[in-house]
Amino acid sequence: MINTSNYTASFSKIKLKNAAIKDRLLQLPDDKIYCETNHIFIKTFFDVVAQEFPKVKVIIMRRYLPKVLKSFIELGYFSERNRHWKFWMSSPNAVTATIPCIDVDQNLDQWDLSIAYLIDIEARAKRFQKEYPEINTYEVRLEALNNFTNVESLFEQLNITSTDETQKMFGQKINQRENKKKYSSEQGTSLSYCQERIEKYIQNSHDLNIPIPNTLSLDYYI
């Protein structure tokens, strides 16, 4: 629906997300919070959540963009090698997209489709901040959270209390997808090639007078 219709058309259907969140909240003790890490939020249900839960806090988590692109390519997103991505990814040319794409989907390869999608996700995040200034947003680099001091700092901003369990969980590898990554650097997934393709896409966008968010994580985090 978000590919073919505006958010008004999907609002009533997506409200079921609020019911699911309420059910979870009712099961939680008073000293617990509900937190969700979901890339679908910024594409589909941010509007219904903003209406129902005005005190929600949103974390915008960024990662070095060439690394994100490398993962996308290796996992087969926006290609026939992966059958599942279409259930979760929006088209860069979706009706609800924030900025124009450089071309229609059919004329773009896996690389440009992935880059266009990632840039639009960033633009959607910026649009959310503009449309919902009353909702607190927190911007953080994912790489920064490899330092526990930065984790504690983020928790303090969110008024969350760190515990011994937080410390135990820190550094554990939870999401293991290496076995799904079929491509190798020999097939063009080096970080330098990813950076080259991103730069080329951004230049094409500038040539077409398409605005690109200035908050993309194009610098390697040290």
Kindly report, residue by residue over 126-183, the tens digit of the pLDDT: 999 999 999 999 999 999 999 999 999 999 999 998 888 888 888 777 766 655 555 5
**Strand intervals (E) in 42-157:** 58-62, 137-141
**Strand intervals (E) in 58-216:** 58-62, 137-141
Model pTM?
0.91
pLDDT band at 222 (very low <50, low <70, confident <90, very high): confident
Q: Are 154 and 134 in contact (CB under 8 A)?
A: no
Nearby residues of 105 by Cβ (< 8 Å), 6 or more positions away: 91, 92, 93, 113
For 214, how many CA atoms within 13 A lie in the half-sphere containing its CB? 0
C-alpha 138/C-alpha 174 separation (Å) is 23
User: Six-digit token pair at 123?
Assistant: 């633009």
Kindly report, residue by residue over 71-92, the tens digit of the pLDDT: 999 999 999 999 899 999 999 9
Q: Which of the pair, 201 or 54, is modelled with greater confidence?
A: 201
